Structure 1
Amino acid sequence: MGFSSAAAMCALLLCLAGHAALRVAAADPEEIRDFAPPPPGTALDGNYFTSTRLRNSNVDQKGTIANVTAVNVNFFPALSGLGVSNALLVYPPGGVNVPHTHPRGTETLFIIEGTLEVGLIDTTAPVPMLFTQTLHKDDIFVFPRGLVHFQINKSKKTVRAYASFSSTNPGLVSLPRTLFGVNADIEVLKKSFQEDGAGRYVQARGPLWCPQHGSRTLVHSIEVLKHGLVDQITWKS
């Protein structure tokens, strides 16, 4: 008996969630000192506790993908052992932050400017649930560690947001990049998503239940995931 596309998508999401759960076991090591000392040759002064990485990042962007500037321990060594990191996100009109997970950290997203649509998939319930929200300036949304989530700017203006993480390096697993950025057997992907031909997708009834709409949603298709076109998700009345 073959799998339906809905079952395939459900299995995919559960596998990704399980993979993330295994990786979160390696949490940030606790810093037993007040802070980690600077590397050899680096002065211990105010500059050590300062990051200027975001100074030139808050500019308007073009294209369809959000620009994310991370400030984690790789760029800001003073964060080592403190269990926090940050990022600035700039969404051009129509831009998306494609479906992804952070296997090592919970994220809170603060809207600096504009209106942003966000989505969060909970795969721990008997029926995986999709939670969506429209965020406005000064709103905050939380994405629990390891859960698939996304954002999309459906407005005609640039949206800016500030993300905080409960890890010095929360990690990033991009679903489009993970699924299509490697030399996976295309036949496996086509059969999993019931893709009938190149350049088009089949909208299939999916296993995700949306409490806000009280109805099942149409699942991300192969093209939606491949190109990050989250706005292709439609609601079944």
Structure 2
Amino acid sequence: MVVVYFLFVLLALASSCAFASDPSPLQDFCVAVNDPNSAVFVNGKFCKDPKLAMADDFFFTKFRYPGNTSNQLGSKVTTAFVDQFPGLNTLGIAMARLDFAPYGLNPPHIHPRGTEMLAVMEGTLRVGFVTSNQLNNTLFTKVLTKGDVFVFPQGLIHFQLNIGQTNALAFAFLSSQNPGLITIANSVFASNPPINVDVLTKAFQVDNKLINYLQEQNWFDNH
């Protein structure tokens, strides 16, 4: 009986813990304030009264038009995250349209709050992601053609490169209304204020002149 009672208590505790977890963050940070008048937004977005909702709240047209790929990356990502598409609020999903010029690149980046599934509509893309240090930073990469799908696990560095001589088009589906975006090169070399050169020379094991050069570049954001 003692054993049965002990198991019952453990199950009750496990159940209570399962229902007590915090919600996943939907923004980079949310600093607590005691004065509600100082609040800007909550974890996510405030909700419209459901009685005032309209069909247009759930309608998005910006994927109709190709993105402008006339830039140094040769790519353009058009996002349908909650900031651009308010009807996604609380639904846990988002999308993006990815346009590529020949040999265009969507550079290495991460989505800290969402897994991404990529579907190729036109062209040929080389895609890949790198695992964490725990799995020895292993690269998983494939060449995708029309109709192929590839998934990038949440929080892992990934990229897409058009290896064809024609334009390419893909659509991404993400498991968060606000999956976030951290482009690796932009974050490291174009932070404001700049990261101390000594930090980067040790981290990348290169000469400080190279770090200075990289920090002086115009790091383009294709989103």
TM value normalised by structure 1:
0.64
Corresponding position of 1:100: 109
What is the aligned counterpart of 1:39 among 22, 25, 48? Answer: 48
1:153 aligned partner, one-letter code: N
What displacement does 1:169 show?
0.6
What is the aligned counterpart of 1:159 among 168, 177, 182? Answer: 168
Runs of 5+ consecutive residues of structure 1 not aligned to the other structure = 1-23, 29-35, 201-221, 229-237
Bigger Rg, which one: 2
**Aligned pairs, how many?**
174
**Structure 2 CA distance, aligned partners of 1:83 and 1:195?**
41
SS at match of 1:54: helix
CA offset digits 1:21-62 (Å, max 9, x no partner): xxx97246xxxxxxx99736x953322211112223x25622
What is the aligned counterpart of 1:26 among 24, 37, 40? Answer: 24
**Structure 2 CA distance, aligned partners of 1:122 and 1:39?**
40
**Structure 1 CA distance, aligned partners of 2:218 and 2:125?**
19
**Structure 2 CA distance, aligned partners of 1:86 and 1:75?**
10
Runs of 5+ consecutive residues of structure 2 not aligned to the other structure = 1-21, 27-44
Corresponding position of 2:195: 184
Are the structure 2 counterparts of residues 131 and 26 from structure 1 closer, same or farther at C-alpha, using a change threshold of 3 Å? same
Q: Does 1:55 align with 2:64?
A: yes
Q: Does 1:64 align with 2:72?
A: yes
**Structure 2 CA distance, aligned partners of 1:169 and 1:55?**
21
**Structure 2 CA distance, aligned partners of 1:44 and 1:191?**
54
Higher helix share: 2
CA offset digits 1:94-113 (Å, max 9, x no partner): 21111111011100000010
Corresponding position of 1:131: 140
What displacement does 1:144 show?
0.6
CA offset digits 1:113-132 (Å, max 9, x no partner): 00000111011544220111
Moved over 4 A (4+): 197-200
**Structure 2 CA distance, aligned partners of 1:95 and 1:47?**
33
**Structure 1 CA distance, aligned partners of 2:57 and 2:47?**
7
Q: Does 1:147 align with 2:156?
A: yes
2:77 aligned partner, one-letter code: V
**Structure 2 CA distance, aligned partners of 1:55 and 1:38?**
27
Corresponding position of 1:113: 122
CA offset digits 1:193-212 (Å, max 9, x no partner): 22247469xxxxxxxxxxxx
Identical columns (%): 36
**Structure 2 CA distance, aligned partners of 1:61 and 1:179?**
24
What displacement does 1:168 show?
0.3
Q: Do 1:38 and 1:48's aligned partners in 2 also have CA atoms closer than 8 Å?
A: no
